[in-house]
Chain A
Amino acid sequence: MDPAEVEFLAEKEMVSIIPNFNFDRIFLISGEIGPFRAGLPVKVPIWMAINLRQRQKCRIIPPDWMDVDKLLEVKEIESQSRFFTKMPSEHYMVEARLLLGAAAEDITRTDEIRTVLKVSKPFGYAHTCGLGAVSRTQCQGWSYLRDYSFVENEKYFVSYMKLPLLCIVATRAGKLDIWDMRMSKLRTSVDAFIRSGSTHARLDHLTQMELCSVRPLLPDALDQLHRLQKIKKLFTMSPGQGNPRRLRSIPNEVLSAGLVLLGKEFAIIHKK
Chain B
Amino acid sequence: MDVDSDAVASDPEASEDEIITAQKVLQTLEEAWLNEKFCPELLPHQSDVVECMMEQVQQMEDNIRRLPRGDFRVVVHRLELDRIRYVISNYLRLRLEKIEAFTAHILERENDLSPGECRFAREYLAHLETHLRHLALRHMPTNIQDLDHSNMTAKPNTSSFVFLRVKGEVSGVVIEGDSNNRDEEIDLETGSQHVMQYRPVAELVRAGSIQLI
Of listed B53, B77, B179, B192, residue having the most chain A CB within 10 A? B179
Q: Judging by beta carbons under 8 Å apart, are A200 and B195 in contact? A: yes
Interface positions, chain A 1-42, Cβ under 8 Å from B, are: 1, 8, 11, 21, 23, 26, 28-31, 33
Residues in B neighbouring A205, C-beta threshold 8 A: 193
A218-B161 in contact given A197-B178, A200-B194 (Cβ < 8 Å): yes
| B137: Cβ under 8 A from any A Cβ | no
**How close is A43's CB to chain B, nearest CB, in angstroms?**
14
Q: Judging by beta carbons under 8 Å apart, are A233 and B181 in contact? A: yes
Q: Which residue of B lies closest to A57 (CB)?
A: B72
Q: Judging by beta carbons under 8 Å apart, are A29 and B56 in contact? A: yes
Of listed A30, A31, A251, residue having the most chain B CB within 10 A? A30
Contact of A28 among B37, B77, B179, B180 (CB under 8 A): B77
Residues in A neighbouring B157, C-beta threshold 8 A: 223
Interface positions, chain A 132-180, Cβ under 8 Å from B, are: none
Q: Judging by beta carbons under 8 Å apart, are A199 and B193 in contact? A: no
Q: How many residues of B contact A (CB 8 A)?
A: 42
A48-B163 in contact given A29-B56, A200-B194, A202-B194 (Cβ < 8 Å): no
Interface positions, chain B 163-200, Cβ under 8 Å from A, are: 163, 175-181, 184, 186, 192-197
Of listed B56, B84, B86, B213, residue having the most chain A CB within 10 A? B213
Q: Judging by beta carbons under 8 Å apart, are B80 and A28 in contact? A: yes
Q: Judging by beta carbons under 8 Å apart, are B23 and A29 in contact? A: yes
Q: Judging by beta carbons under 8 Å apart, are B79 and A48 in contact? A: yes
Q: Judging by beta carbons under 8 Å apart, are B60 and A29 in contact? A: yes
A26-B73 in contact given A211-B213, A219-B160 (Cβ < 8 Å): yes
**How close is B87's CB to chain A, nearest CB, in angstroms?**
9
| B147: Cβ under 8 A from any A Cβ | no
| A68: Cβ under 8 A from any B Cβ | no
Of listed B76, B81, B83, B192, residue having the most chain A CB within 10 A? B76
Q: Judging by beta carbons under 8 Å apart, are B161 and A219 in contact? A: yes
Q: Judging by beta carbons under 8 Å apart, are A203 and B163 in contact? A: yes
Residues in B neighbouring A222, C-beta threshold 8 A: 161, 195
Contact of B197 among A23, A199, A202 (CB under 8 A): A199
Query: DSSP class of A's interface residues: helix, strand, loop or mixed?
Result: mixed
Residues in A neighbouring B181, C-beta threshold 8 A: 233
Q: Which residue of B lies closest to A50 (CB)?
A: B79
**How close is A32's CB to chain B, nearest CB, in angstroms?**
9
| B159: Cβ under 8 A from any A Cβ | yes
CA distance A97 to B153 in the complex (A): 45
Of listed A26, A29, A197, residue having the most chain B CB within 10 A? A29
Residues in A neighbouring B23, C-beta threshold 8 A: 29-31
CA distance A205 to B53 in the complex (A): 32
| A110: Cβ under 8 A from any B Cβ | no
**How close is A198's CB to chain B, nearest CB, in angstroms?**
5
| B132: Cβ under 8 A from any A Cβ | no
| B26: Cβ under 8 A from any A Cβ | yes
| A234: Cβ under 8 A from any B Cβ | no
Q: Judging by beta carbons under 8 Å apart, are B193 and A203 in contact? A: yes
Contact of A199 among B57, B77, B178, B192 (CB under 8 A): B178
| A206: Cβ under 8 A from any B Cβ | yes
Interface set of A (CB-CB < 8 Å, partner B): 1, 8, 11, 21, 23, 26, 28-31, 33, 47-48, 51, 55, 196-206, 208, 211, 215, 218-219, 222-223, 226, 229, 233, 251
Interface set of B (CB-CB < 8 Å, partner A): 22-23, 26, 37-38, 53, 56-57, 60, 72-73, 75-77, 79-81, 83-84, 86, 157, 159-163, 175-181, 184, 186, 192-197, 213
User: Which 8 interchain pairs have the tightest Cβ spacing?
Assistant: A197-B179, A219-B161, A200-B196, A203-B193, A222-B161, A198-B178, A29-B22, A31-B23
Jot down 28 A-B pairs with beta carbons below 8 A, ordered by A. A1-B37, A21-B72, A29-B23, A29-B53, A29-B56, A29-B81, A30-B26, A31-B23, A47-B83, A198-B178, A199-B175, A199-B177, A200-B184, A200-B186, A200-B194, A200-B196, A201-B195, A215-B163, A218-B161, A219-B161, A219-B162, A219-B163, A219-B195, A222-B161, A223-B157, A223-B159, A223-B160, A226-B159
